[in-house]
Structure 1
Amino acid sequence: MNCSADGRPIDVTDILARLKGLSAAEEFFAILGVSYDPKVLNVSRLHILKRVGQYLAEEDLSDLPDQVVAARVRATLQRAYEDFATSSPLKHRIFKVLKDHDPSKPATPGRTFVPFESVMKRFAKE
């Protein structure tokens, strides 16, 4: 399969098994031959990988040839990367902590936010 960023063929053999063994975002980009800006990846790496997982959860890759799987996963990684290359992680709010603290949504009744500093002031007085 010739779809790497530098024109070198991508090894598609057992691509899903190989991808499952990766841990660094840069490894996913390298194996799939997707080019990226290190500045974007440094800011949004977890968001990009989470989004890839969300997109892939919608795909049925079972019983497909490795070449097709590699092409779909590569396209998914590119799509997720573009999501965050063009806007901030705060805009997408894919992690629960960001969804829960969306300033455009009112606070849930009965759940008040207490700044950590105000709690620490109590202990400083005692």
Structure 2
Amino acid sequence: MSFEEEMEELESAEDFLQYFQLPYEASVVHVNRLHILQRFHNYLQQGADSMPEDETAKRAVYSKLLTRAYQDFVDSDAQTEKVFKVFHMGEAQTAFVALSDIKT
């Protein structure tokens, strides 16, 4: 199986962490699994242009980024990290409407 095929088989945060043989606290993953996976996905997208072609190097980058995503939630929490849009919805929004745009 290729690296990409192996990655497609993984479903949960635990699957990913176990695949890359990364130590983790089950309690951290239990509370933040979707946030960890989304952050991991975001990190992968940010580095997509510079991703190595070599499978061994790519595995190392994936492992590093997953470790970083997991660690974000060891050191912080979901509400502070605001991975998902729903956490931004309660923030104050500012908008400017020019007086000329208001029609009577």
Is the TM-score greater than 0.5? yes
Give the structure with the higher percent helix.
2
Equivalent residue in structure 1 for 2:8, among 16, 20, 33: 20
Q: Under a length normalisation based on structure 2, what TM-score does the superposition of the two structures give?
A: 0.81
Say yes or no: does 1:57 pair with 2:36.
Answer: no
CA distance in 1, matches of 2:71, 2:10: 21
- Identity fraction in percent: 29
Say yes or no: does 1:106 pair with 2:92.
Answer: yes
Gaps spanning 5+ residues in structure 1: where?
1-12, 110-126
Say yes or no: does 1:85 pair with 2:74.
Answer: yes
Say yes or no: does 1:75 pair with 2:64.
Answer: yes
Greater relative contact order (Cα < 8 A, sep 6+): 2
Larger Rg: 1
CA distance in 1, matches of 2:40, 2:8: 13
Aligned pairs (5 A) from 1:29-40: 29-40=17-28
Amino acid at match of 2:20: L
CA distance in 1, matches of 2:6, 2:94: 43
Displacement of 1:106 after TM fit? 2.1
Q: CA deviation digits over 1:61-93, x for unaligned, max 9?
A: 36x111001000000000001100011100011
CA distance in 2, matches of 1:21, 1:45: 17
Amino acid at match of 1:93: K
How many equivalent residue pairs? 93
SS of equivalent to 1:100: coil
Amino acid at match of 1:72: V
Aligned-residue RMSD, C-alpha: 1.7
